[in-house]
Structure 1
Amino acid sequence: MQIVDCVLEQHAKSEFEKWENEIEKATKENKKFGELLGNEIGKEKRTRFFEIWGTLDHETQYSILRPHLWDDKKPSEGYENLAKLVKKGYIKKILSTNLENLLEKALNNVGCYQPDDFVVVVNGKDRHEELVEQLNSSRSSLKITKLHGSLESPKSYAFKQDEISDFAKKIKPDLSRLINQSLIIVGYSGQDRDVDLLFEDEGKEIHFVNPSKPEAESRISQILAVRGKGKIIDGNDGKFDTFFEKLLKYVELEEERSNASDSEPSIEGFLRNIGFGKELENPRSRYKNLTSLYVKPTEYNEICSKLEKDHVIFIIGEPHLGKTYTAIHLLWEYYQKGYETLHIRHDNLVTRLHENEGNLTNLLLSLLSSKDGNPVIIHFDDPFGETMERRTDEFAKGLNDFLLLSKKYEHLRIIVTTRLNIFREALAEQDCQNIEGLEKDLRVHTSYKSEVLVDILHRYTQFYKPLWSTDEKIVRELDEKLPKMLPAPHNIEFFVRTSERLTSLEEIFQHVDKSKEMIKALGEWMASLSDHEQIFLTWVEIQSTSNILFTNDSASKINLEDAYRETLAFLYKRRYIFSIPPSSFSVDKDKFDMILLESREKDSDVSKFDFVHPSYHEAFWYAIKEESRLLYWWRVLKENLAGILDDLDNKLDRVQLRIIENYGTVNRDLDKLLLISAESEDVDEKVIALKHMMERIEVFGESYSFSSCMEAVISAQDPKHRMVLVNLLPKNFSTLPPGIIDKSMLLLVDPEKEVRNRYWEIYSDRIEIIDKLETNPEFKLGRLVKKIQLIELLNRHLNNKSIEIKVINRFLQITLPEFKIVFKNNLELGYDLTQYAYSSGGILRRSLSNTQKENIKYIEEYIITNLHDDRFLQKRSARLVVNALERARMNKTRATMKK
């Protein structure tokens, strides 16, 4: 556009000035409007430019282009990094729409020279045969094709429509095979019609790298949709220089990884090994810089001795004292000794325990099998629970066996980090005799002496480089006073990181005070962020919690980046916000990299995010409870959720969002959450609660909430809810309490055939369990349903006179109270039972005992009085109702005549 403006200013000055004035005026009124108008006028400018350009001779065109593209132009860092990738052999062919020679200069700078290392062919300059021959030959390791010509040859470049059309006709047949391979497109916005024409045929994936996503209706957007398998990389990562910088860095890390076996253990290899590979992309990662940032507490040597002697150590302390950071440093030291290292967080432990049916010993044995036969060191982070409210009993229950096993294996080392109050609570509830002597406390005022805390302060000051660090007076004051004010490493790290822009002593000491109470300080920090940053953190909280509560559900697969972008677009459209920050997702992700963990499941290209520490979850909900602006965004999201996520494949609904909110407000205590959801009036919420309760049947099986929740789902109107329950049963049937199995058997007479049949399969496979319950006093409905099952026999053998009388008799033992249950839960079946009882033939009528006749009489009267029930009438056809009424009337007439 600079070239366009230059030509227009020289050759269409009045038009150019008019356009510029219009854009300037619009921008003053509204910046966004100015940008939109500028884009529209840009199209008019380009049209006028081409009209003028076609009238200029080659020398004039050259004189206009040279200052913009050639004179004093040096390759940017992106070009230099691209050249290094070429030299490493990762890139073999480059198609360029550029006229200048910056790529060639960059290649020369890294030691690649024509013609030995690369060849350049120029469309419009070189003969057609030469272009084809060079593309197909293998003599040079790199082929550069300049699609629009070269500035060095003024007659070669294509600008005008006729030149572009000619270009497409000539070059497309020879490039189609190449263009349909896997491609990376960088620095090209998709506005050149001649290049777009090359993509008409369907091909392999395209990775499209550009600061802005292509417009939805554009030709390049359609091409990307057809190719389908690639990725759009936009925002800051989509900038030419940033992309090639990161790509080169990634390649170099991969090379280091592949060479790791031949060199000393690296921190990069270690972090990948424990699942912290994403930390390598964050230059300010505390873990990536572990070797320079970590400072040992007073107890460190004693911790090491205990670990070697007893094979297991419990590092215990209050939050923010550096327990996890110390454990990671221990893992790093053992990694350098050749140990295989494992880091298992609380949520991952819960998942692994479920996979091992809650058996801690089996889990530990499965972790011992080293891939390379090396000794193993395992770090369990918060295995008893992350907070007092979010406890996990399985680890504590298996602690004795766990300790015996850990001592038994010479090649095993185990580190457990846990909060002091949670540790004490867990042990108080268990009979664990072997724990004494294995724990080591990290304590405020003893674990880190004043000089050590000052050392920590200096390390983080050097790391984050806050503005105040250049003021000697402030640094002296902090060295003197900070150790007494902030005696924990995390508080110091938080203080330095969040005070980067402060410059006055007064502001800094106010910030020190705030940093004492970490949850409050973190919550206030979150509440002080810009609107779009608060919305970003809101989606982090939603996604991370969905991974816990809605495993394998659509909500757990939601793409945070897509959800965040859709939210901003929706809020902008509805005037909740008045601008969308450019590249907001990548910028926010980079800003919060130090507090986020990013992971990706196998065979998935969707990143999942979580906070690095439970404190950030607590801080988020602290800010919500304090009614900060975060609460406003949460409410806006809740009210507009369906509209925001409408275009996404994976999404969550308002019920799930409400459950996430409940989870946060009960301090992420899953047990409390499930009890709340089990009592909800919303059946969807009950179903979710029931699913989690089923997974922890030993905790909830005997509770009233579980029983009432089960009953509510069994009697739910929508069969989809009952089907969910049926599908949950096979895995848990043998562990269900008798009363729960008894209630579930009503599904055998469910009005929905699919539900009925599925439960029948489960019932048939587990008939032994049900038979054992015959004498159990809680098994009342079960016995009734076993009677009702005989309806199947009656249905099949009604006309078969050889049917055994005793089978019919058993069926006819149904009493009025039992029948009421059937009638209430299944109106059709209640009607059918009566039909069978009265139409089973004279032989059956004659064989009825007095008790059976009495039962039938009461049932008949009950039916007559309930036939007006609207639900019943809706279920049956008019004909059947009339028949029933007629039969009831005749029976009454007979009874009157007898009297």
Structure 2
Amino acid sequence: MKEKRTVFITGTQEIGKTYTAVMLLWIYYKNGYEPKWIKGGEFVERVQVRKALENIRKELKPGCVLYFEDPFGKTKYERREGLEREIWAIIDSVEHVKDVYVIITSREEIFKEFEKEKLSVRNLRDFENKLNIKKPSYDYERRSQIILKYAEEMKCKWYEDDKLKEFVLESIKHENILPTPLSMRDFAGATTNVKKEKEIIIKLEEKSNETAKAFTREIENMTNDKILFLSFPFISRYFEIPFVKAMYEDLVRELGLKEVWNFDTVFNWFKDDKINIKNKYIEFSHSSYSEALKYLLIEHNIYNELFIKILDKLSERDESAIHIALFIRDNFDILPENSRHELLLQLSEKKVCSQAIILALAENCHKISANLRNELFSKLIKKGVIRKLNVEDCSEEFECGDARIDKIPLSYYFENQEHTKAKVYCVEDKDKICSLIQFYEKKSYGYNELFLDIIASSQGETGYAQSLLKLILGIMFYDKFDFISGYIFDNKELIEMYQSIGFNIIETVEDPLYGTFHKIVLVNENKNNKESVIETIRDSI
């Protein structure tokens, strides 16, 4: 600012543009300057801000610092030809007056619109200072300082409790929890009298969601071609740039979108803002943008219709169909029921999608009609349906013929599922639980591990356990776990079953109560070197 004397502070909604501008006014005021803040919170005020900026020469005098708030618009670009024509004359006039400084704030999307429309070819970016959640302007350390400062100023009662304070700081390690200074300020203001963890959790979620909804309002003002582009990283972070380009161009034609930008123009528009490029893949620069698109999908029928057409088109292609199946699994509730079911039926015809569809169905089995559920599972596994264990199962009997397992009631597994980090699934066939699996997600020597605790089939039933192994294999590959590990009894058929799908026995142990056990492991070789992982974990399984 000292060098250029005019600065455009741009950035994401709620990121602290106004706070930064006012802080600069205060600093200059303390150093003897006369500050003036020309507010632009409301539309009528912004009209006056634009007029004042066009006639800035009347305001310029040595020893003065001026702040023009959001002259180009608040939520969408508000065009004024005078500014588009005269912006460089305005900047030059500041340079011609000694010891005067000008601050202009704008949301980044709106500033980019203004820069695109301005008549001069000179680049305003040399005068721009960006604040956004992509850059480390507000990394974890900085956010920790801000939340504690607000809590102290507002005399939050949780701030006086070391455990609650640590809980809040641990919570904001997740980037989508209170991602902006404004969300942190609002959280502190809403928790001044809070002394219970449960109430803090509610307010953390509430204020974080408000930020995502604010980003939704920014996105909903975009043109359809931009929303189409952002739909790709929303669906998956594993679409390569050439694939996105080809599909973008196809969908622009098929959807009949008018007055659209070509792919390269849209790509460059978002490249330094809402997206990152990582190993040829396009991903969001911050998870809050993904949350914003979820709200857009829930709240806006127009985008809903556009998005379903995008999903339908992508589900036709083998290279993207798997990603659609996984998207349905993780976002089951936000998709319209009819469209969701049609997509599942379409995807179930593709062999490449079978494991991903099994995951989607197992997670959301209770939300699907019995007829559709049976139709889908009949295409994917030999018999039965896979689902999570539920409370009604607790009164059922389950015997596999091994006394070591039969003594454990189903209620034990259900309690584990509800109150620990255990994942418990079963295969149900003809109203009977025919097989059961319990596993845990954990860290081992820096690796992400799925620990296979129990897998058993009801006495006299065969073939069901393999369906559950197919489920856990899908979880490992699609959720990017490094390996599956566990113990199995010394049973020839059991050993052969595990070895047939790629498990290795890496050690045999004797237990005084249960007899001979084998340590088994299956490494995700898409991510890791098999021998290296086995050597590292051999003593820790």
TM-score range for the pair, normalised by the shorter chain length: 0.3 to 0.5
More strand by share: 2
Pick 1 or 2: higher relative contact order, CA cutoff 8 A, min separation 6: 2
More helix by share: 1
Structure showing greater Rg: 1
